[in-house]
Structures are given as structure tokens and as C-alpha cells.
Structure 1
Amino acid sequence: MTIQYSSYVVTVTLLLLVVAAASSRQKLSMAAPTTLPGCPDKCGNVSIPYPFGTQDGCFLPGFQIICNHTFHPPRAFFPAEYFRSGPDMVYSKPLIRTEHVYYNNTQNGDDMPRGISSFSPVELMGVSVAEGKLQVRAPFCYKCKLNETHHSYRNTVLIYFPDRSPFFLSEQSTVLMGIGKYPITAEQRSGPSCQAYVQSLDQFVNGTCSGQGCCQATMLPQTHYDTVTMESHDHNDCTYAMLVDKSWYSFTSLDLDGDVFLRRNNASGVPVAVDFVITNHSCPRHGQQVPEGYACTGDNTICVQLPLDDDNEGYLCRCSQGYQGNPYIQNGCQDINECEKPDLYPCHGTCNNREGEYECACPAGTKGNAKEEQCTEMFPLPAKEAVGKLYMHHSMIHTPFISSAIKHIICML
């Protein structure tokens, strides 16, 4: 009877383990959604998570993206719209404007400048809904004169997002940067400028941007658009100025030689970090009815209120602690299995994942906070030795009693 009962327990236990393993595999195989049902989630190699979208009904107002299939692979752009009103250009959508100046020696020896202005849509390179950030591609200013007969000069770059739009040039991630061997001043429409030059060839340090060959200045907060210009002396060399995501560029002295930087980056441009926010709304107060159009619709989400200029209101959606994914859609925030990410969620003991959190316990016989430090044994070595000696002494005296007790137990089974 005892053997049959044990077999039954083992069988049920194995079945439960199989079901649990199957459920675990099913949960892992279900990828978290990134956009609304029926909406494309990619344009070429670029992910398009909601609130962004490329089709009607797939995006929030102001977050439309145009997927241009004339490129291979397709590329993602913000819709552009601009028109001339008298002598001025009027912009109503995100865009980039550049001004080039070309110098060509005439037969009379005059260096006559030729200026050209151009407009282009803002290209989207990537989106992080978790951080409320995106990367866009932008050109940069340069002045290159490599010989006496021809040199080119892109003297102005405007990166423009309309006022009261959901987008700001990122104050934390985007910087104004200047690169040059000879004195260069990189300037922005609003905010500080910076100066770079090489005083001595042994003074600049690769990887740093402190003025020797490379300089940088911060952005003003909540800047919808900015214009980059540069001033530099006339030398047979190249100098550069740009708004750029500071995590992308690491200064190297190789970029001071000739047009190395220009040839490497002119076609592709440089990444610029942009923050986005849900504008013209605020987070509902505790107990308040959720307003119409509220964006944090998914489970396990929180609303983060953001102060904006011009008496405007805005907020971001985040996944609650212990969850990750897209907080702007239903079921977008899913549980993090912290036990699979020990680098982010340390555990020096036994890890057990739970919904929205995880437990980390010290093994039996040890103690401590296993999430923060190594567990320590509950009994020091001297105590162990003393217990061991006492046990050996007790065993030598009472061995017959222990043996008979064991035999008695076996007989009972």
C-alpha cells in the first residue's frame, strides 16, 4: 500500500512538472505586441511601435510615419510640408533645411561663392517607447578646402519640429559638437556655443571632447528646433559642426586629417536624439476618471507627468516596475523574468521569478540579503568543529541505541 501511494505521488508530481514546463514555454514563446492589431510594426529595418504608425488608424495624432518603398530596404520619414509665403518659407511639419556654399575659381581668379538651399524630410532611425526617445538622421555642417581650386562649405543645418509638436531635441542625449585642427566655433540658434582647436599635437586625447580638436556644448531644454552654424579660419583642411547623439561619436585624431570624417559620414548623416511626449494632456489624478484619449491604456502601466513650456501639458507612459514592453497598447507590458538577467537583477542565492518581481533567498544553512551580497554561513567554522566533535563523542557512546532505533524504524516500514 505504501509503495502504491508513493508511485501515485511521483506520477502526479511529474505530471504537474510537465504542465508547468509547457506553460513556461508557451509564455516565453508569446512575443509582446509592439503596435495595434493589423498595423505594420516595421518599415524596412526600422521598428515602428505604437504610438507611431504608417497607416490610418495605426498612430496617435502627430506620430504619423511615411514608409518610403522607393528605397531598398524601405526607409521611414516624418511627413514633410513647407511652402513659401512671400520671401519666407513656412514650415508646418518636421523637416531639415541645409545651406551649401560652393567656391570655384573663375578665369579671372575670383573665388565666387554659389549658395544653394535644400529641404528634406526628417528620417526616423529608431524608437524606444520605454525611454520616450527616438533617433533621427541629420546632415552636419562642414568646411573643406583641400586644394586651391575648389572647396565646399555647408554652413547651416536646421533641424525643425513644429512648436507644440510632441518632439523635442533631447537635452540629455543630444549635444552641439565641433571638430577641427584649426580654430572652429560651433554655434546653435539658442544655447551655448563651443570652440575647438589643436594647440599641440600631443595634447588631444582620443575619446574625449574637451576642446583639443573636439568640443561640445549642451542643448537648452524643450527645444523644438535648432540651427547649427560654424565659423572657422581659411585653411587647407576640414572642420565640422553638428548636433549629434553624444553616445554615437567618440573623438579620434584620425578625423582631423583631411576629409576622413566627411567621406565616412556625409552620405549617411549623423544620429540626433529626440524626446517625445504626449502633449495637450495630463495624467489623471488618483480616483479621477480616465480622460478620453488617455494613452496609457495597457495593464501594468504608469503615467509620468512632464512640465512643458508655454503653459502646455504632457506626459509619458511607462511600464510598471517589474514589467517591460510597450505601455501604449493592451498587453504591451509583460513580466520581466529577472532570474534570466542576473547582470541587471543580481541574485547570490536561489532565484524565483514572480509576477512583477522576483525573490532571491539564501540557501539553507546560510543567511544574508542575497540580492545585494553573498550569503554567509549561519555557523562559523569553530562552531561546526565543536558540533562535529560533540556528535562523534555522542556516536561512540550511544551507537547501540542509535542502531537499534534505526532497525525499529525499518521494521515499522
Structure 2
Amino acid sequence: MACVTQSLLQCFLYLTLISLLLPTPLVASTFPTSLPGCPDKCGDITIPYPFGTLPGCYREGFNLTCNNSTTPPKLILGKNIEVLDINIATAEAQVLNYIGYDCYKNQTNDVDNYNYPSLRIKALKPFLFSHRRNKFTVIGCYASAFISAYQANGRNYSSGCFSFCDSLSGTTGDGGSCNGLGCCQTSIPQGLNYYEVQWSSGPNDAWSFNPCKYAMLVQEDWYNFSVQDLQGFEFYETNMKMVPIVLDWAIRENVTCLGAHVESSVSSACQSKYSGCDNSTNGEGYICKCLEGYEGNPYIPNGCTDMDECKFPDKYPCHGNCKNTEGSYECSCKEGTHGNATIGNCTKDPQKFPYPARVAIASILGVAVLLGFCFLVVWYQQHRRHMKEKEKYNRYYEMMDNHLRVFSKTQIENATDNYSDAHVLGRGGQGNVYKGLLENNHVVAIKKSKEVEEAQRGEFVNEIILLSQINHKNIVRLLGCCLEVNIPMLVYEFVPNGSLFDFLHRKGSRKSISMGTRLKIALDSAVALDHLHSSISHSIIHGDVKSANILLDANYTAKVSDFGASSVVPVNEIVELVHFSHGYLDPECLYTQIITKNSDVYSFGVVMLELITRKGAVYTDENGEKQPLSTSFLSKARKNEHHEMFDVEIANEESVMEILDEISEIGLKCLSPKGDDRPTMRQVVEELQKLVRLHNNLPGQKIDEEETECLPGETSFSSMSNASGFNSTQYSAVLEIITGAPR
């Protein structure tokens, strides 16, 4: 790659970058910024208290270093974080950090040069990355990158995005938004104190015109996309390897802001007489502020001084006579007029009370009568609409009575003790699930979904009718519903042993699981999905296959559940993407925004890997970092090291290892990047049936056998093409992971 070697040119570019990043003040400050006798500048950068560079000049945690060995001097936070600006009013600091890059020397995976920048500010307690001002940004064609981070509350976080373009003319264009064509952006949550950039490996089909991809956490309003950023290494060199990011800072001393005052005034950082405080919007703590009508530095005595509002008509409008007062201002209409000068509503004073005023009063009364009549008309129309809605409900109930039981609102409330938290079985993005006890002491699971609009209610009823006709031992059965309220509620059979996710991963109740039981769960789940895909008149795409949505009964028979994301379509049709859980996400449907049966196959492949590794779809590796199971297993398989990831409870015999290898092969084919290269669920069932029979022939490892008929009419699994290999996905994705069980 090309590098600028002339020292004078480097200096010039660096000074240019600094001058562009530094904000231009509107007016000169007339109030004190630092403590008496303390330096208030480092080069051209102002150092306001609570920051400082000398002992006694800063509050604990706000110490900076002024490096005078450079020209101009650099203001340093921590060991080597360069500070560009500090804003007292917004409690923000603008700093520099490195750009991540991934450069290719040809169209294959041959990487010419790359880096994985990171920034840790955990030891700098007052500081957190601003979730309002920064965006994780990826620049390039066929560029996929991720950001892994830690939050101050100890949780891990990961996200990322994908940028696609097949030519320079196929981008969003100069100055365009980062919408995935040439560049993409995603927000970050609050509370982050560490992040690092990770690249998704794969061939670079745009190598000829875009050899380098970039990823960075950057101040959102600083970056504007340019097509030139995709060419060569110019973006990295022009910006001297670094871009600005914004840090939120606050007084984080286990006290809060009550009203406008700090909880404990003994060590309050708000020292000015005319100062108050606000609780931090990013992490714990508070920030000080000058009261309304004052400006300056609230962290030092007498730091907040009266503001002359009359000098700022854009912020404090006055269309008359403006007079500054202590902490405020007065705005009055000019002589001979009256009204509200603040909004420019000043009219001439009347000479006398006019006769037409009495006419106006009568007119007002007439208008009041007219409004009353209009109110009655509106009330009547609403009453008629209510009666029509009641008729619709009656028709819906007549439809439902022919297929499944219809519950009343009162019955649901009695069964759940009025939706008591003690009855909650789980909470998710589609609603809450409660354990209910009916009048006949029959235990059921009641799902209270989010609100459905009236326009969708008819479609919702039709879908319930279709789902009620599914009667399969491996699918949680829908028993009834309630449409009496705006929030629809569904009543399912109760499955006592919880979810497969809890069975595999919940630390508090971890149990030994045999190879036979795992095979049985895999086969049960595959049979259920195949039934949804091909064994009924209308194909059902589940849309959210994951271990948390596979329930286990008392005999550990698997039952697929949670059709909140399901779509009912005619056979062989496709539907728009609704939602997916991270770790199970089909990369192809992220790019196309369309889900198919192949999307369920991909997610089931992840579930199979969970069964043989006993690791979550997103798990914590030996380095304490969050990793997607599909990517990690794929990487190990390329090196023929995937045996290391098998669960040690079952990977103890050569005969079992053969079965594990077969399951691995099925799972990896299910995870093929292209949906057309994946097997159907019918083919997966056939292969799992073979493995069950193989396992049953092993001495001492027989599982409870159930009759499973062969499923005809599909091409054998072994004939599926393996040409796709293990290349990483090439599709747009915006992912968000919060530590904990998948939703």
C-alpha cells in the first residue's frame, strides 16, 4: 500500500485534520473556565475545570496531560488518547481513535494488510462512548464488520452491518446516507466503555475498484460518504489513520441529581451559586449545568454568570423592546401597542371599546352552539362505528367456534390471576407467556401478544384457524384464543420441562444429556419443521427457529413452539422478513429481506450445533469474548479442528465420534450461505433417522425408539452439492446482541 513518507506533508495533513475537527466558537468566552493559577489551554484547546493538567487543578478522574513536545501541543487523556475538544455545556469530549482497515491483493481471501482497532476507557471512570453522537460505520463494497464491546454494567455487546456495491456507480453517491450502498452505519447502546472492530472473512468481489474496506466508531455528523473513499488507501492516509469520536463524561460518584440539586451537597461538583444538575443520560452519575438565564462553568465558584438574552434573538426571540434582567429578560410591545412581543403578536391599542365587540360575543356564542352540535354528530358516528365493530366480533366468534375453543377475557384473567407476575413463564419481543389454570384444573400456557391493529384482525383470525388445524405430536398445540380485547391472546397446551435452551445452557440446572436423547430431540424438531413446510395444505414458515422455541415434555419429546414470527403462505411462496434472533439469523434473508423455508433450515442447523457442543448460538469463548457458534464451528471445521468444540460428555467414544461427525456435516450444509445449497427439512429428517438407527445398534446406548416413517419424494441428502464450501456470508446485516438468553 502507498504511504506518505515526506515528513512535511505528514505535518501539513495532520494540522489540516485538526483544524477541520475543532469546533468554531460562536462568541468568545467571558466567564472563567479553570481554577485560579491553573493552565486553561494546551495549544489552542481550552481545558475547563473539572479537567486539568496539574495536581490540584482537576477533579479526580479528570486529569489530562499536555504534550508540549509536538507542534502544536497535544492534549492527552489516559495514556495516549488525543483530545480535540471539551464541551462543558453538553458534557462531551471529542477524541481521536484509529481507523480499522482490511485490504486485499486479489479477489480471493488473500489479505494484503488489515488491523483490528480497539479502545478501552474502562479505567477512565467518568467517560463512556456517546450513544447519541457516535455510529459504528463500515465503508466498502462487500464489506462486513462487527463491533464487540463491554458495557459499564458488565454486559457484553456486539453489533455490525454490511455494505454492498458491485461498482462505484452503484453506491449511494457523494454526500449520500450510509444506507448499505458503499457504506453502512448502526447505532450503539449507552454504557459502553470498551470496543473493538472485527472483520468478517470472505472473498472481495470488488477488489479491482475497492481493494480496502474500513470500519470505525466515529462521530456521526463528522463523516460524509464519498465515492473516492472506496478507491485505494486514500481515506486512511488523508485522515492520518484516525477519526474523531465523542465521549460522554459525568460525575460518577454514586450520587444522583434530585430535582435540580445533587443528592449530597457535601462533595457536590456543582460549585457555582447559579448552578443545578441533571442525571446523566449515559450511565450512572450526574452533570452540572448553569441555571436558565446563566452561562459559564458550573463546576467552579462564580462560574455561572448572567446571560444577556437580548444578544441571542434566535434563541430568545423578542419582536419589541428587549431588556436583560438577572437570570432572565423582559420583552414588551413597543409603545402604543399591546400583546405578546415574544411571538410577535403586538397590535395597536384600541381608542375605545367598540360596538362591534358585542356582536363578536354573540358570534362566539353561536360558534359554541355549533361546536356542541358537531360534538353530538361525532358522538353518534362513533357510537355507530362501535356497534359495527361489535357485529364484526360476533362474526369472528362464529368462525372460531367451528375450529377451537373461544375464551372470554374474564376466563383468561381468572386463569392467570389477573396476569400476575407469579404466573409469567417467559417474556419476549412478541409478548408475555403466562401459566394458566382453567376451571377444570387443566394447566395451559397463555400467550398475551402485542397489540394488533383492527385492519390486521381478520387476517389474524384466519391464521389462528389454520394453526388450530395442525395436530402433530412435535408441535405445541393451539387450544383456543381470546379476541375480546385489542391485545389478542392465545391458549396453548402446557409443556412442563421448559425449553431446549434452558435444558442445554442454564447453569443453575445443568444435567448430563446422553447422545441418544440429543438425537431424539433433533429428530423430533426436524420432523415438526418438515410437517410445517410440506405436510399441510398451506406451507408455514416458522421464522424464529431457536432452542428457546423448542419445548420438552415430561419424556423429553421435543415440541416446536412460538409462532409469533410465523408466516402462512401458499406452497413454494416467500414472505418478507419479520424478525430473527441473533445467532440463528439467515444471512441470505438479511440481504434480500425475504424469508423462505431455507431460513428455517439455517436456524435449525445452529440448533444442531448447540446439541453437539452444548454452547449457545452466541457463546463466550475462553478469552471472555462473545462469539457466534455458527461462525466459530465453521472456522474450526475448515481446519479440521471442530472436534475440539464437541461436548466432552458425549465425545468420549470412537463410535459416538462417527455420529457427531455426521451431525456436524448435516449442520454445516444447513448453514450454507446460499439457501439453494441447503437441504430441505425432509432430507434432514432422513439423515437423522439413519443416525438414530446407527446409534441404536451401538451397545449400551439405545434410546427409546418411536416409529418414524420414511418420508418419500425428496432427493437424498448425500446428493446435495457441497460446492459452496465454508465461505462467510455476503449479505447486509444489522445485528444487535445483548448478553443473556436469546429472546
Fold match (TM-score > 0.5): yes
- CA 1:374 to 1:252, structure 2 compared with 1: closer, same or farther past 3 Å? farther
Q: Deviations over 1:284-308 (max 9, x none)?
A: 6579995432100111100212377
- CA 1:184 to 1:219, structure 2 compared with 1: closer, same or farther past 3 Å? same
Match of 1:371 in 2: 342
Match of 1:94 in 2: none
Output aligned runs, 1:9-408, within 5 Å.
31-80=30-79, 121-145=80-104, 152-162=112-122, 165-180=125-140, 182-189=141-148, 190-199=157-166, 201-202=169-170, 204-205=172-173, 206-231=175-200, 233-234=203-204, 235-236=207-208, 237-267=211-241, 269-283=242-256, 290-306=264-280, 313-379=284-350
Q: Which amino acid aligns with 1:60?
A: R
Q: Which amino acid aligns with 1:133?
A: E
Q: Secondary structure at the match of 1:371?
A: helix
In 1: Cα distance, 2:124 partner to 2:42 partner: 26
Q: Which amino acid aligns with 2:43?
A: G
- CA 1:225 to 1:284, structure 2 compared with 1: closer, same or farther past 3 Å? closer
Contact 2:273–2:301 at 8 Å: present in 1 too?
yes
In 2: Cα distance, 1:258 partner to 1:147 partner: 13
Q: Deviations over 1:40-89 (max 9, x none)?
A: 00111211111110000001111110111111121011232xxxxxxxxx
Please report how far the alpha carbon of residue 280 of structure 1 lies from its aligned counterpart in structure 2 after TM superposition.
1.9
TM-score between both structures, scaled by the size of structure 2: 0.39
State the number of aligned residues.
308
Q: Secondary structure at the match of 1:165?
A: coil
Please report how far the alpha carbon of residue 195 of structure 1 lies from its aligned counterpart in structure 2 after TM superposition.
1.0
Please report how far the alpha carbon of residue 216 of structure 1 lies from its aligned counterpart in structure 2 after TM superposition.
0.4
In 2: Cα distance, 1:45 partner to 1:69 partner: 12
Please report how far the alpha carbon of residue 140 of structure 1 lies from its aligned counterpart in structure 2 after TM superposition.
0.8
In 2: Cα distance, 1:226 partner to 1:342 partner: 42
Match of 2:717 in 1: none
Contact 2:171–2:182 at 8 Å: present in 1 too?
no
- CA 1:203 to 1:251, structure 2 compared with 1: closer, same or farther past 3 Å? closer
Q: Secondary structure at the match of 1:193?
A: strand
In 1: Cα distance, 2:75 partner to 2:112 partner: 29
Contact 1:175–1:216 at 8 Å: present in 2 too?
yes
Contact 1:191–1:220 at 8 Å: present in 2 too?
no
Structure 2 residue ranges without an equivalent (≥5): 1-26, 149-156, 355-743
In 1: Cα distance, 2:158 partner to 2:324 partner: 47
Contact 1:141–1:228 at 8 Å: present in 2 too?
yes
Please report how far the alpha carbon of residue 29 of structure 1 lies from its aligned counterpart in structure 2 after TM superposition.
10
Q: Deviations over 1:150-191 (max 9, x none)?
A: 9753331111111671100001001100111x2111211024
In 2: Cα distance, 1:169 partner to 1:295 partner: 22
Please report how far the alpha carbon of residue 260 of structure 1 lies from its aligned counterpart in structure 2 after TM superposition.
2.5
In 2: Cα distance, 1:207 partner to 1:170 partner: 23
- CA 1:329 to 1:288, structure 2 compared with 1: closer, same or farther past 3 Å? closer
Please report how far the alpha carbon of residue 369 of structure 1 lies from its aligned counterpart in structure 2 after TM superposition.
2.0
Q: Which amino acid aligns with 1:153?
A: N
In 1: Cα distance, 2:222 partner to 2:102 partner: 22
Q: Deviations over 1:194-216 (max 9, x none)?
A: 11122562551423111111110
- CA 1:211 to 1:364, structure 2 compared with 1: closer, same or farther past 3 Å? same
- CA 1:334 to 1:259, structure 2 compared with 1: closer, same or farther past 3 Å? same
Q: Secondary structure at the match of 1:220?
A: coil
Match of 1:387 in 2: none
Q: Which amino acid aligns with 2:275?
A: T
- CA 1:361 to 1:238, structure 2 compared with 1: closer, same or farther past 3 Å? same
In 2: Cα distance, 1:301 partner to 1:29 partner: 21
Contact 2:136–2:216 at 8 Å: present in 1 too?
yes
TM-score between both structures, scaled by the size of structure 1: 0.68
Contact 1:191–1:219 at 8 Å: present in 2 too?
no
Contact 2:147–2:158 at 8 Å: present in 1 too?
yes
Please report how far the alpha carbon of residue 144 of structure 1 lies from its aligned counterpart in structure 2 after TM superposition.
3.2
Q: Deviations over 1:373-406 (max 9, x none)?
A: 35333459xx9xxxxxxxxxxxxxxxxxxxxxxx
Q: Secondary structure at the match of 1:368?
A: strand
Q: Which amino acid aligns with 1:340?
A: K
Q: Which amino acid aligns with 1:297?
A: Q
Q: Secondary structure at the match of 1:342?
A: coil
In 1: Cα distance, 2:28 partner to 2:81 partner: 36
Higher helix content, 1 or 2: 2
In 1: Cα distance, 2:170 partner to 2:348 partner: 55
Q: What is the alpha-carbon root mean square deviation over aligned residues? A: 2.8
In 1: Cα distance, 2:57 partner to 2:320 partner: 45
Contact 1:193–1:217 at 8 Å: present in 2 too?
yes
Please report how far the alpha carbon of residue 351 of structure 1 lies from its aligned counterpart in structure 2 after TM superposition.
0.9
In 1: Cα distance, 2:332 partner to 2:282 partner: 44
- CA 1:58 to 1:153, structure 2 compared with 1: closer, same or farther past 3 Å? same
Q: Secondary structure at the match of 1:192?
A: strand
Contact 2:145–2:197 at 8 Å: present in 1 too?
yes
Structure 1 residue ranges without an equivalent (≥5): 1-27, 81-120, 384-413
Worse-superposed segment, 359-368 or 202-211 = 202-211
Q: Which amino acid aligns with 2:164?
A: Y
Contact 1:351–1:360 at 8 Å: present in 2 too?
yes
Contact 1:164–1:279 at 8 Å: present in 2 too?
no
Match of 2:699 in 1: none
Worse-superposed segment, 223-232 or 207-216 = 223-232
In 1: Cα distance, 2:331 partner to 2:311 partner: 13
- CA 1:379 to 1:257, structure 2 compared with 1: closer, same or farther past 3 Å? farther
Q: Secondary structure at the match of 1:278?
A: coil
In 2: Cα distance, 1:50 partner to 1:30 partner: 14
Q: Which amino acid aligns with 1:240?
A: Y
Q: Secondary structure at the match of 2:102?
A: strand
In 1: Cα distance, 2:250 partner to 2:278 partner: 10
Q: Which amino acid aligns with 1:48?
A: I
Q: Deviations over 1:199-255 (max 9, x none)?
A: 562551423111111110111211011112233633242211000010111112221
In 1: Cα distance, 2:96 partner to 2:323 partner: 43
- CA 1:79 to 1:163, structure 2 compared with 1: closer, same or farther past 3 Å? closer
Q: Which has the higher contact order (CA 8 A, sep 6+)?
A: 1
